[in-house]
Amino acid sequence: MGAPLEGPYSFKHHPWCEEIHNSKATFNSTMKGAQLGMTEIGINRAFFTVDVLKKDVLYVLPTAINASDFAKSRFNTALTYSDYLKNIFTDTNTIGLKQAGGVNLYIRGSRGDSNMKSIPVAVLIIDELDEMDEKQIYLALERLSGNPEKSIYYISTPTYPKKGIHKHYLQGTQEHYMFRCPHCSRQTELIYPECLEIRGEAITDPLVKTSILKCKECEHQLHHETKHEWLAKGNAGWVATAKCDEDHRSFHVNQLYSYALTPGEIALAYFRGLGDEAAMSEFFNSKLGLPFIPDGGQVTDEELEDALRQFAKTGARPLTGGERLITMGVDQGSWLHVVVMEYLLADDNPTDINAESTGRLLWEGKFDAGDFTVLDRMMREWQVRACVIDADPQINDARRFARRFPGYAWLCRYRRGVTGKELQESEADGGAPMLTVDRTNWLDASMGRFHSSRIWLPRDVSLEFRENVKNLIRVFERDELGNPRATYTNTGPDHFGHALNYAEMALPLAACIGTGESITQSVI
């Protein structure tokens, strides 16, 4: 090993790594904070498999650039410090392929199907799983399908609950690294916030650097300087917290265990996150190794329960020629997910019709995408005044539907660069008008109804609708200038969430139909 831990590789400062090295489970998922020695585990497993087991290995990173940098900085560096490894590998000239006699170590980026086709291997190591597209992960897993004895290693800092590494962690043994407290001798672990005593009032307070670790059982200080000693004492090791198939071991470790980061440095990261959602996400993900959702970033079960009212989807349909503001949103894919909404205005002349109205979910359900004419029936049955339908993937069917209801139906695509809740309407494309909207701002409007109690749901609303809405999560990421930017991701199917969003967009369109006012003037 090079600096800062020069010399032979050891577990002195990373004792939690030893048992993960030796795991014989088929599936191994490690959810961790940054810089905790987990990539070194992946490298060592790869070398061991090639050298001792004589089996091919596929090591996958998020991008081809990541894979190239990894091959040069981690793989080639390991060979620089080890004459033994130099003698194992007979061909190291190709960045993405290292050969040891007839055994291969493939190092690939996950993006681009051709990167991983026709590569039969026995061991798969996926590093930084949460930065990869799920489709590419499945493609990588297919590389093992021809081998009866296989091993899979997932390594990643987490992002959001029930997604990526956190999803795999929940499917496994959910093991925590335990040790004996040097003061009370009880078996314990380092967790936040119980074990981090944050001192000071702000990031500029000199006291922050004096923050300490403490035992959550006896509250005695655990000195950072001697961490490697008290972590190694007693019956230290991994303890499973979930009962499941032991052929899937999952592990979690955070930076409170790190020898390189002081408690004061972790406390500084906490203060950086106050008032900065992107920095707080980084604190939870990279420091604590935990998934994180900002406050108000997800529709909760409590908000869904509060929205329930004593009416049903089977209620009476509106009379022909009624004046009710009824809209329909359609998200298309393998199914047509449909939401029918009615909006009740608090003021006859609202300045923001979406913000100053209460939405009433009249009906939600799905139909086979093979027959778009079912939407015609829905338009007439519910006397829909405006419908917005997802333009893709079946754009021709969507166009034909819109042409059957000129002035009442619009296609829609999400685009960045559109301001606020602006609806940019382009000329009819194939006879059907196309809207271009900002995804985040409109989802703020539709999901915000749950946070502000401005939506009513029927008592028989489907479980699928509930789950789809909860699967949309508002998070913050850094833009190219380093500034935090809000966006929405999902932790599972979200079709009804987008259908609800399209129905929300249709509200100002429906109001325009009733007044004859132009869309551009009425929507800000």
User: Which residue is associated with the tokens 């003021």?
Assistant: 347
User: Picking from 52-61, 101-110, 367-376, which range would have the lowest pLDDT averaged per residue?
Assistant: 101-110
Whole-angstrom CA distances from 336 to 345, 365, 372, 394 are 28, 8, 8, 11
Burial 76-87 (b: 16+ CB within 10 A, else e): eebbeeeeebee
Q: What confidence score (pLDDT) does residue 420 get?
A: 65
Of 1-5, 56-60, 99-103, 317-321, which one has max mean pLDDT? 56-60
Mean pLDDT of the chain: 90
Distance CA 382, CA 308 (A): 21
Tokens of 312: 């049903």
The DSSP secondary structure of 260-314, one letter per residue, reads SS-HHHHHHHHHHHTT-HHHHHHIIIIIS------TTSB--HHHHHHHB-S--TT
Where are the domains positioned within the chain?
A: 301-522
Q: What confidence score (pLDDT) does residue 136 get?
A: 82
User: Picking from 153-157, 223-227, 424-428, which range would have the lowest pLDDT averaged per residue?
Assistant: 424-428
CB-CB neighbours of 212 under 10 Å: 18
Inform me whether the pLDDT recorded for 206 exceeds 50: yes
Whole-angstrom CA distances from 465 to 81, 369, 377 are 56, 18, 21
Inform me whether the pLDDT recorded for 113 exceeds 60: no
- Helix and strand numbers (H, E) in the chain are 17, 23
- Average pLDDT of 359-377? 96
Q: What confidence score (pLDDT) does residue 263 get?
A: 97
pLDDT band at 115, cuts 50/70/90?
low
Instruction: Name residue 468's amino acid.
Output: N
Task: Report pLDDT digits (tens) over 12-22.
Answer: 999 999 999 99
pLDDT band at 340, cuts 50/70/90?
very high
> Which of 301, 282, 180, 286 shows the shortest CA–CA distance to 237?
180
Q: What confidence score (pLDDT) does residue 524 get?
A: 32
CB-CB neighbours of 104 under 10 Å: 18
Inform me whether the pLDDT recorded for 518 exceeds 60: no
Specify the DSSP element, H or E, that contains 419: none
pTM equals 0.81
What is the CATH number assigned to the segment(s) 301-522? 3.30.420.240
Q: Return all residues near 359 (Cβ < 8 A) that are at least 6 apart.
A: 341, 342, 343, 344, 449, 454, 455, 456, 504
Inform me whether the pLDDT recorded for 207 exceeds 90: yes
Q: Quick check: bond before 393 cis, omega within 30? A: yes
Q: What confidence score (pLDDT) does residue 350 get?
A: 82
R_g of the chain, CA atoms, integer Å: 28
Inform me whether the pLDDT recorded for 353 exceeds 70: yes
Q: What confidence score (pLDDT) does residue 514 get?
A: 59
More confident residue, 4 or 129: 129
pLDDT band at 231, cuts 50/70/90?
very high
Q: Return all residues near 428 (Cβ < 8 A) that are at least 6 apart.
A: 434
pLDDT band at 117, cuts 50/70/90?
low
Q: Is the dihedral of CA 269, 270, 274, 277 positive or negative?
A: positive
CB-CB neighbours of 107 under 10 Å: 25
State the pairing for strand pair 409-414/386-390. Answer: parallel
Task: Report pLDDT digits (tens) over 412-452.
Answer: 999 876 666 778 877 666 779 999 999 999 999 999 999 99
Tokens of 223: 């000195």
pLDDT band at 520, cuts 50/70/90?
very low
